[in-house]
Chain A
Amino acid sequence: MSSASPSSELPTAAPTARPVLSVRNLTTQFRTDRGLLTAVDSVSFDVFEGEVLGIVGESGCGKSVTARSIMRLLPEHITRYGPDSRVEFSGCNLLELKERRMRRIRGDRIAMIFQEPMTALNPVYTIGAQLDEALRYHTSLSRRERRRRVLELLERVEIPSPERRRREYPHQLSGGMRQRIVIAMALACEPDVLIADEPTTALDVTIQAQILRLMDELRKTSQTAIVLITHDLGVVAQMCDRVVVMYAGQVVESAGVDDLFHDAAHPYTRALLESIPRSGARRTGRLATIPGMVPGLDEMPAACRFAERCSGREDRCTRIAPRLTDITDARSVRCHFPMHQAAGETH
């Protein structure tokens, strides 16, 4: 479990800072025809002001569900949160908040952007109208002030000729441009936390770099905390201060970004890192992959969930579920046999 203690790996988290958003033992379950399925299993992490926290994992590991649980976007009638699950934000537990109050937090205090910029904007309204709606809903600015603010936002996300773009419809913009608008919308009310669910996955690499640079600048200027959900470790290396690695609904490792890339403790993290293609590396055959498949939600092993696919599996791994344990102040890992150097076990 990560903590707020001073550490060289946490450059932007001030020593005494309190987390803006704090997720504790978040368990999200869905009632389905196959019974109660646990998509997220007691996930905990903190996000500090001005910090970028990465949540990494392959498809279906529960990272998006975690984000949607924080925003309470999941269909209420089939979703159940664990009894000791808490999402603490400005002194209250978001999971227990009334829908009416939750609405005032969404968009205003916590904003979220999605993966697909092509469908993230409503095709029937102009860019300006959509930005304006958010401002009108959450602020008491006059029409004139809102208009100025819209132009300001467009400039801030580096849209060229904002006065003209303001009057255009989403289909007249390119993918990268749309994602900028989406970011502008998310920033309209200067939120404390921005949750970005794979914001660059659908963009091509050059645009991706621009968007990431933009987000990084915005974070620096407005001290917004960013939760960046991605499966792209390259993005993580470029953007994040700290990283939470998820596997099959659980946090398997959390660490500062340098620790993670140089000295990963969990075999899953190691395997992930090894499967990144590297330029200049020896081209000796195939790219490393992780054998096997993620277990389905209804067939989760009671022991270590990664054991099946783990190269360092031992007898204990298939019998006893490992617990998330702190290995240093800022690092924790869920493994019986962590592989980091401090523990003396290199692979």
Chain B
Amino acid sequence: MTEIGSSRAWRKFLRHRPAVIASVVIAVYVAVALSVLLTGWITLEDTSARVGPANLPGFGLLPDPEQRMDNAEWLAERIESLCDRADPEEALAGFRDLGSRRLADLNVDEFRRRIDAIWDTWDRLAELDDVNEAARSPETGPEVREGLAELDRRCEALLQPVSETGSVWRTLELLLGTDRQGRSIFLRAVYSIRVAVMIGLVTGLLAVAIGTLAGLAAGYFGGITDGIITWLYSTFASIPGIVLLIVLAFMFSGGELDASLNRVTGGLLRTVLGGRLDETLIPVYISFAITFWIGPCRVIRGETMKIRELEYVQAAVVMGFGRMRLLLRHVLPNVSHLMLINFSLLFIAAVKSEVILSYLGLGVQNGPSWGLMISQSGQEVMKGFFWQIGSATGFMFVLVLAFNILTDALQDVFDPKHV
């Protein structure tokens, strides 16, 4: 048996190149999650703020001509309506629809003049039956493309030039385009890392902790303890995981539980959480932990039963050591590799399940998550816009793939049968 403390096993792990790369990828994800959590360089507001026109493609690609016209129309109308307000100066200063970009420092008349210029170009282009077709055809193509470029320039003239520091942030905002509501897909996807990593870590740790304790107790003490724990996990295991998750998530949703808990504790819960229970991630953690502890419990119970009969444990009994010492110092270290492998398995399971739950509207309630992004991208996909669903699944795919490779490598390293 190869154990977790064995340097030979770790050397073997380091020779496994994909696993090392996977570890680096995971480290990057965790670092991003931590940096978001600690420094708040992306805030919840950043992820829900409008940063530009809807459904902008990523990497600075231009939308199709039709869409570019729509975007120009949206901007012109938006600013025109601001100019029509009772206090236009103030309304224009408060313009936040283009993320970090601000309107140029002009008076209202100048704005109206420049907007009229936009409409001039726009009307000219609008006379065409099909702008997309016209931009492609060899005869009208150059002229239409020139018109579109002029339209963009004239829109740009409404704004302050991008400053040096602001331009990096602006690039990030538009790196992966915008969703249906003009929100930054990149910021949302990155912010979701925080949610995913937190859910993965917390539920992984909780489930492994519960599973290990239960598994150790069942495997070591046997008898009634084993009976109860086995019955418990067989019962849980007989309910399909996703159904159990949904039931538990439903239990927490809607604030019923929150209200009754606060009634009993006299508002203590609200004070501690600083908000409603169903708006935090706690319901997700709890339902995941309840669903996922079964896996590690089963494996660790079996391993404990095996180890209990091994002679070094018997030898420890013969040395006169007490039960707790035996369990914690002699059995636990020998199942620690299983804890590690199970943690890594559960991390992936939690990330994936979060996506499913959020897709169904039962998971994350506040702020973005990959599941919410995928669920929101349904209509965009039908219109042929894949940036949001692609980004969310891409971010998730890389994390899950990295964890799968890592788990595989861990199993290879620690499982004696593969040596």
Contacts and interface: CB of A to CB of B under 8 A. Distances in A.
A186 B223 CA distance: 30
A107 B6 CA distance: 28
Contacts of B317: 73, 106
B340 to A, nearest CB: 13
A171 B8 CA distance: 11
Interface in B309-337: 310-322, 329-330, 333-334, 336
A183 to B, nearest CB: 11
Interface in B198-238: 222-223
A104 B320 contact: yes
A150 interface: no
A124 B318 contact: no
A269 B4 CA distance: 49
Contacts of A134: 319
A128 to B, nearest CB: 14
Interface stretch (A108-116, A204-212, A325-333, A334-342): A108-116
Contacts of B312: 119-123
Interface string B335-348: 01000000000000
A137 B334 contact: no
B1 interface: yes
Contacts of B315: 112-114, 120-121, 182, 185
B287 to A, nearest CB: 34
Contacts, number: 72
B324 to A, nearest CB: 12
Interface of A is mostly: mixed
B319 A185 contact: yes
Interface in B1-51: 1, 3-6
Contacts of A122: 312-313, 316, 330, 333-334
A254 to B, nearest CB: 25
A137 B318 contact: no
Contacts of B6: 123, 169, 171
A167 interface: no
Interface centre among A71, A106, A113, A119 (most CB of B within 10 A): A119
B334 A107 contact: no
B320 A137 contact: yes
Interface string A120-146: 111111000000011001100000000
A106 B319 contact: yes
Contacts of A262: none
Interface string B285-323: 000000000000000000000000011111111111110
A71 B1 contact: no
A105 interface: yes
A18 interface: no
A124 B335 CA distance: 10
Interface string B373-412: 0000000000000000000000000000000000000000
Nearest to B321: A137
Nearest to B319: A107
Contacts of A347: none
Contacts of A111: 318-319
A332 to B, nearest CB: 30
Nearest to A114: B311
Interface of B is mostly: helix
Interface centre among A115, A122, A134 (most CB of B within 10 A): A122
A43 to B, nearest CB: 20
Contacts of B313: 122
A120 B319 CA distance: 12
Interface in A67-89: 71, 73, 75, 77
Contact of A106 (B222, B310, B320, B336): B320
A165 B138 CA distance: 84
A90 to B, nearest CB: 15
Given A108-B320, A134-B319, A123 B1 contact: yes
B303 to A, nearest CB: 13
Nearest to B222: A75
A213 interface: no
A159 to B, nearest CB: 18
A31 interface: no
A171 B6 CA distance: 10
Nearest to B336: A124
A188 B310 CA distance: 21
A103 interface: yes
Nearest to B223: A77
Nearest to B310: A119
Contact of A124 (B311, B319, B333): B333
Contacts of A137: 319-321
A186 B322 CA distance: 17
B200 to A, nearest CB: 27
Contact of A112 (B1, B318, B336): B318
A73 B313 CA distance: 11
Nearest to A78: B223
Interface in A247-294: none
Contacts of A73: 314, 317-318
A71 B318 contact: yes
Contacts of B320: 102-108, 137-138
A254 B289 CA distance: 61
A77 B223 CA distance: 9
B311 A106 contact: no
A106 B330 contact: no
Contacts of A102: 320
Contacts of B5: 124
A113 B316 CA distance: 11
29 contacts: A73-B314, A73-B318, A77-B223, A103-B320, A104-B320, A106-B317, A107-B318, A107-B319, A107-B321, A108-B320, A111-B319, A113-B315, A114-B314, A114-B315, A120-B311, A121-B312, A122-B312, A122-B330, A123-B312, A124-B3, A124-B333, A124-B336, A133-B321, A137-B321, A169-B6, A171-B6, A185-B315, A185-B319, A186-B318
Interface of B: 1, 3-6, 222-223, 310-322, 329-330, 333-334, 336
Across the A-B interface, the 4 shortest Cβ-Cβ residue pairs: A106-B320, A107-B320, A107-B319, A124-B333
Given A122-B312, A122-B313, 6 more contacts: A107-B321, A113-B315, A116-B311, A120-B312, A122-B330, A124-B334
